[in-house]
Structure 1
Amino acid sequence: MSAFPGLPLHTRSLTVALSYERDGRLLARGDVVDLRKNGFVPSGYDIQPSGIIHMMSIELDLEPDTSRIADLRIDQPFVAVEPSPATEGECCRDPAPRLLETRGDRLDEGFTKRLGLVFGGALGCSHLLTLYQLMASTVPRAMALETERVVRESTAQRPGARFFRRSLFVDGFERDADTNDVVVQLADTHTRPIAEGSPVVTRLVSSHELKLRASIERKRFRIASLEARERHRTPDALAGIPWQDHDALVAELVDRPIIPGLAGRIFGLLREAPDRALLRDALLQLAPGYIQITAAQMDEYYERRARAESRDGIEAPAVSSLGGNTNSCWMWREGSPVARTFASGRAGPSGD
């Protein structure tokens, strides 16, 4: 039972920022942060409290004319599972070096499919995969916008200065015992170089925003309602710009499960709508974001377990509550130490 309606559960932040390096290459940096705001989750050997669960970044050095990946760097200061005797030394950072295989590849239309073959499922980390996929859709869009701006204005960006940023946030709230509310906010901010002394707002080229609000039936993982709004603003038109309503366009996703199969339905719905790229990218974050949100709702599991124990039975929590369906990532691959510990229902060695 929630302490009160509208309880904040979890926030996922995904950002992608672009700038030019002094050697003319493009630097794209992506960050993902998961902040759990409620409850705690039992892991294989410890209690995982609320707070930062994931903090990870990917940096790409790109050739601007071809979007070829010249080099990349991965950092994971916060991960859900650190190495321990219970994990037999394994941790969430182990699969990251596989991403180095994408050196020399290009961020073209087929990249995400190729990325999945290298890093999808039991081969990789689902959070790095989600971030890299978002970067792959963001960078070409940003470069197209910047190329158009340069043709119009004939000015070059200063090396090291960010000229484009995509900000995407997924927030989960517990409305009541049966329903969760999820809000997705995506904003693309494109900026230009300006002369010293110019009004700061003239640095803005455009602000393009997309907002979603979904209600999810907790027991059935069904999308009960879905709203979508979009607007585009420029420095000379910041006030009074109406939001465009896309509710009719996304209505086909209502009364369908958020997990599994949502991504396929989104691509099927918007495949012939290239002008709806922001809507597509925002919708694609609903399912992975919702998995994180459910981990902040362990109270119902504890109540069920108490009832089961009173009947001489012990019930395990739903795997989705702990963030790991079988083969959803390297740590939860079939037969892994984490999966075996979870299946046993008992804590592994802590190493303390």
Structure 2
Amino acid sequence: MPLSQPVSRSLQHTREVICQGYLRDDGLWDIEGHLTDTKTFRMRCIERNDGYIPVGEPLHGMALRITVDLDLNILDAEASMDFTPFDLCPSIADAYRQLIGLKIESGFTKKTRSLFGGVQGCTHLVELLGPLATTAYQATHQARQDRDKGNWDAGAEPPPLLNSCHTFDSSGPVVQKYWPHFVSSKE
């Protein structure tokens, strides 16, 4: 169902977040996220151009790339900040190499916020880490499912989505239909 019809309005700001997952020839996965903010008006910005950002030129243009294995261990990380409101902003990009060695799993967001929160990082790159992690999960999902399916069918271990949302409730109809040996009753 689409959103309801809005009242009359005029666009002022657009934030685009694009995340893509790539299977590399070496069997690893590159996950790239790009965040772009643009305005529909000439914006005052004292450290850019003649003190203004022209219509259509990004206020923010930033990217993160992580390389993961099939278990979502981060093996490499790189950040770039091509458009920023201040000249100092890009100096924090190398801090995101601290992602190397982390694993995308429960607690990942908390860990990254402790590493890059406040003055230790960039608000926009921290925001990009959430969609980047989700994209890593989605991009590798089929390959992980193909690898691990036998374990789920045999009942050795539950599917990782179990109890992650209302659809995958361990006592719900989806789990009853596809993984009946992992159904739990609510008391």
Residue 142 of structure 1 is matched in structure 2 by 139
**Alpha-carbon distance in 1 for matches of 2:29, 2:45:** 42
Q: 1:7 to 1:121 in 2, by over 3 A?
A: same
Determine which structure has the larger strand proportion and give its number: 1
Superposed, 1:113-262 pairs within 5 Å as 113-148=110-145
Distance in 1, matches of 2:47 and 2:80, equals: 24
- In structure 2, the CA distance between the partners of 1:11 and 1:149, relative to structure 1 (3 Å rule), is farther
Residue identity in the other structure for 1:52: P
TM-fit CA distance, 1:146: 4.6
Q: Which residue of the partner structure matches residue 72 of structure 2?
A: 67
Distance 1:119 1:145, change over 3 A: same
TM-score by length of 2: 0.67
Distance in structure 2 (CA, Å) of the matches to 1:8 and 1:146 = 40
Verify: 1:97 aligned to 2:94, yes or no. Answer: yes
Using the TM superposition, give the Cα deviation of residue 61 of structure 1 relative to its aligned residue in structure 2, in angstroms. Answer: 1.1
Match for 1:72: what amino acid? Answer: A
**Distance across 2 between alignment mates of 1:273 and 1:72:** 27
2:165 to 247, 264, 274: 274
Counterpart of 1:30 in structure 2 is 33
- 1:12–1:34 CA contact under 8 A, matched in 2: yes
Q: Cα distance, 1:37 vs. partner?
A: 1.0
Residue 20 (1) aligns with residue 26 (2): no
Rg comparison, structure with higher value: 1
Alpha-carbon distance in structure 1 between the residues aligned to 2:113 and 2:148: 35
TM-score relative to the length of structure 1: 0.37
Measure, in 2, the Cα distance between the counterparts of 1:151 and 1:124.
36
Aligned residues of 1:41 and 1:49 also touching (Cα < 8 A): no
SS at 2:90's partner residue?
Answer: coil
Q: Does 1:111 align with 2:112?
A: no
The separation in 2 between residues aligned to 1:138 and 1:31, in whole angstroms, is: 12
Query: Take 1:146 and 1:11, find their aligned partners in 2: how far apart are those partners?
Result: 34
**SS of corresponding position for 1:94:** helix
- What is the percent sequence identity of the aligned residues? 22
Note the residue ranges of structure 1 that are not aligned, 5 or more in a row: 83-90, 153-271, 277-352
Take 1:137 and 1:113, find their aligned partners in 2: how far apart are those partners? Answer: 15
- 1:13-54 CA-to-partner distances (Å, cap 9, x unmatched) read 111111111111111111111111124225368334433111
Q: 2:64 aligns with which of 58, 62, 70?
A: 58
Q: Which has the higher contact order (CA 8 A, sep 6+)?
A: 1
Are the aligned partners of 1:57 and 1:76 in contact in 2 as well (CA < 8 Å)? yes
Q: Deviations over 1:62-119 (max 9, x none)?
A: 111x21111112122111112xxxxxxxx11111211111111101111111101111
Task: Give runs of aligned pairs for residues 71-82 of structure 1, distance below 5 A.
Answer: 71-82=76-87
Q: Is the 8 A contact 1:8 1:38 kept in 2?
A: no
- CA drift of 1:149 comes to 6.5
* Partners of 2:22 and 2:139 within 8 A in 1: no
Q: Which of 43, 47, 50 is the aligned partner of 2:46?
A: 43
RMSD of aligned residue pairs (Cα, Å)? 2.6
Give SS of 1:104's match: coil
Q: Provide the C-alpha distance between the structure 1 equivalents of 2:165 and 2:43, rounded to a whole number of angstroms.
A: 41
